[in-house]
Structure 1
Amino acid sequence: MIYTVTFNPSLDYIVSVENFKVGVINRTKSEQILAGGKGINVSTVLTNLGVQNTALGFIAGFTGAEIERALNAHGCLTDFIKIPEGMSRINIKLRSNEESEINGQGPVIGDSELKQLNEKLSILNEDDILVLAGSIPNTMPDSIYEEILEKLENKKMKVVVDATGDLLVNVLKYHPFLIKPNNHELGEIFGKVLKSNDEIIKYAKELQKMGARNVLISMAGDGAIFVTEDGKTFESPAPKGKLVNSVGAGDSMVAGFLTGYLKEGDYKFAFKMGISAGSASAFSEELATEQEVQNILKSLTF
């Protein structure tokens, strides 16, 4: 079973406005409300691809109830911890001439709720895959990912981490199965501006020296690079298509990669599935469907 953890789930209110202007009333052209958060996005795309998984995390208030309802209606399994006070956040995604976002804060997660999460994770075993994805609320310690992996170190399960900065760097010593920084996040870790694929590959291998097993680097319109634990490197330009929605594309790449890996146990195929799922979400109003992923997969020639 794959388990995803989202510490700060959201309801994403996605609005399209033609020629948005500051300081005046703007009218929406279209609106959507979707359950969001990086781990939740991974769960949604896994479900779309026919891979059973369980979404874990923390929810609160009427927004939290809607997040759970929406996921269950979509066919996702959930096992959220309910926080008695506050409400899950609402994130506003504004699409106009440019994309803008306003992200809410979310509820305060206390020690008792963290204990409940650790109890749920303690039953996982080496046959399971754990996905830790996204930011954490500012009320939580920056060491939370590290603390979780320390407790699970002897479980020998595959762990995927999609996070930035110290959240990511501090868990490398626990040898995560897969990490997925984008090229800008990779450069920020080392205080560099990475200008070529060779530089990206060089620093991806530095993360491997620090403990990561496999490093998948998303590069938006420039494609993706994958450095495997067995010394292989795969590079791919971005598939051709019109960018419609960048939200969730990286999370979809993680879901696609895991789907491909579970299906064939082959890193090259997993990489191709990851690219296909990430691109399919980027080219769609919502997260990638199986048919959209398959259509792009057929077009890849490497």
Structure 2
Amino acid sequence: MIYTVTLNPSIDYVIKVEKLVNGQVNRVNEEHVYPGGKGINVTRILKSLDNENIALGFVSGFTGDYIIDSLQELNLKSNFIKVKEGFTRINVKIKSEEETEINGQGPKISEEELNRFFEIIDRLVDGDILILSGSIPACLDEKLYENIMKRVEDRDIKVIVDATKNLLLNVLKYKPFLIKPNNHELAEMFGVELNSTKDVVFYAKKLKEMGAQNVLISMGKDGALLVSENGEVFTSNVAKGEVINSVGAGDSMVAGFISGYLKSGSYEEALRLGAASGGATAFSSDLATREFIDKLVEEIKIQKIN
């Protein structure tokens, strides 16, 4: 079974305002509400690509109920821990001349509630896949991802980590199956500027040397790059389309990559489906549909450069 982890999910309230004016009443032209959070995005795309999975994490209050109900309506499985204090956050995303985001805090998670989450993690078995996505709430230990990976290291479980900077660097000693920073995060990790594909390959290989089995780098309009566990380097192009929504594109790439790998056992095909899934979401107002992903797969070209 595939498990996704969203420690701090959200209701994403996406609104369009013709012209946002501070200090005045602004009228909304268009509004949408989605269950949000990086792991939940991965869950939704995995399901679209015919991969059964279970969403894990923490929810609280009436907003937490909305998350659970929304996933049920989408025929998605979840096993969230219900938290007593606070409520699942609401993130407001305002689209106007510029994009503005106002993100909520989320609930306070107690030690008892965290232990209930660990009990679920401890029931994972050989052959399972665990996807850790996004940030760790301030109320939890910043080493939580490390602690999770330590708990499963004696089992044959493929762990995927999509997080930033130290959260990612600190788990490398546990040899995650896949990590997916973008090119800006890669540069930030090493305090460098990336001026060429050669630079991206060099630092992606550094992450592999530090413990990651496979390193997938998303590079926006420049496509994606994979350094596989075998040391092979593949690049993908980007399908043609107008970027409408960058939120969830990276999560869609992770889901597409895992789905492609499970179906084919080929890193080349995994990268192809990952690139198509990321692009399809970027060109959509919400997460991509299966039909759109299938259409874009035909446009993705994979090149082996090493």
**Distance between the aligned counterparts of 1:48 and 1:21, measured in 2?**
38
- Between the aligned partners of 1:169 and 1:99, the Cα distance in structure 2 is 29
Query: How many pairs were matched up?
Result: 302
**Counterpart residue number, 2:101:** 101
Q: Which whole-Å deviations, capped at 9, do the CAs of 1:99-120 have from their partners, x for residues lacking one?
A: 2211110001111111111110
Deviation of 1:237 (Å): 2.7
Answering whether residue 255 of structure 2 is matched by residue 255 of structure 1, we say yes
Indicate the residue corresponding to 2:195 in structure 1. 195
Matches within 5 A, 1:8-87: 8-87=8-87
Give the 5 Å matches for 1:201-212: 201-212=201-212
For the 8 Å contact 1:14–1:94, the answer to whether it is kept is: yes
Cα contact 2:85–2:109 (8 A) shared by 1: no
Deviation at 1:95, TM superposition (A): 1.2
- Shift in Å at residue 289 of structure 1? 1.1
For 2:126 and 2:220, the matched residues in 1 are separated by 33
Q: Is the 8 A contact 1:17 1:29 kept in 2?
A: yes
Q: Is residue 2:275 matched to residue 1:284?
A: no
Partner of 2:181: 181
Aligned residues of 2:237 and 2:300 also touching (Cα < 8 A) = no
Instruction: Give 3-state SS (helix, strand or coil) of 1:299's partner.
Output: coil
Alignment of 1:104-143 (within 5 A): 104-143=104-143
Q: Which runs of 5+ in 2 are unaligned?
A: none
* Cα offset, 1:301, TM superposition: 3.2
Q: Deviations over 1:158-189 (max 9, x none)?
A: 00000011111111011100000001111111
Q: Identity across aligned pairs (percent)?
A: 51
Aligned match of 1:272? 272
RMSD: 0.9
Q: Note the C-alpha offset of 1:98.
A: 1.8
Deviation for aligned residue 1:24:
2.3
Native 8 Å contact 1:194 1:200 kept in 2: yes
Q: In structure 1, how many angstroms separate the alpha carbons of the residues matched to 2:123 and 2:21?
A: 51
TM-score normalised by the chain length of structure 1:
0.98
Cα deviations by residue, 1:116-143 (Å, 9 ceiling, x for unpaired): 1111011111210000000011111111
Aligned-partner Cα distance in 1 for 2:7–2:114: 10
Contact map agreement 1:49 1:289 (CA 8 A) in 2: no
Displacement of 1:55: 0.1
* Cα distance in structure 1, aligned partners of 2:221 and 2:13: 25
Task: Identify which range, 37-46 or 215-224, moves more after superposition.
Answer: 215-224
Q: Which moved more, 1:216-225 or 1:157-166?
A: 216-225
Separation in 2, partners of 1:219, 1:109: 35
Q: Distance in 1 between matches of 2:115 and 2:297?
A: 41
Given that 2:41 and 2:252 are in contact with CA atoms closer than 8 Å, whether structure 1 keeps it comes out as yes
**Given residue 228 of structure 1, which amino acid in structure 2 is its aligned partner?**
S
User: SS at the partner of 1:276?
Assistant: helix
TM-score of the two chains, using structure 2 as the length reference:
0.97
**CA displacement at 1:54 relative to structure 2:** 0.1
Superposed displacement of residue 23, structure 1: 2.5
Amino acid at match of 1:60: S
* Matched residue type, 2:266: D
- Structure 1 runs (4+) deviating above 3 angstroms are none
Partner-residue secondary structure (3-state), 2:11: strand
Between the aligned partners of 1:222 and 1:17, the Cα distance in structure 2 is 30
2: CA distance between counterparts of 1:97 and 1:275?
Answer: 28
The structural deviation recorded for 1:151 is 1.1
Q: What letter corresponds to residue 97 of structure 1 in structure 2?
A: E
C-alpha displacement of 1:241:
0.4
Unmatched 5+ stretches in structure 1: none
* TM-superposed deviation, 1:285: 0.9
Whether the 8 Å contact between 2:108 and 2:139 is mirrored in structure 1 is yes
Amino acid at match of 2:227: V
CA distance in 1, matches of 2:57, 2:218: 25
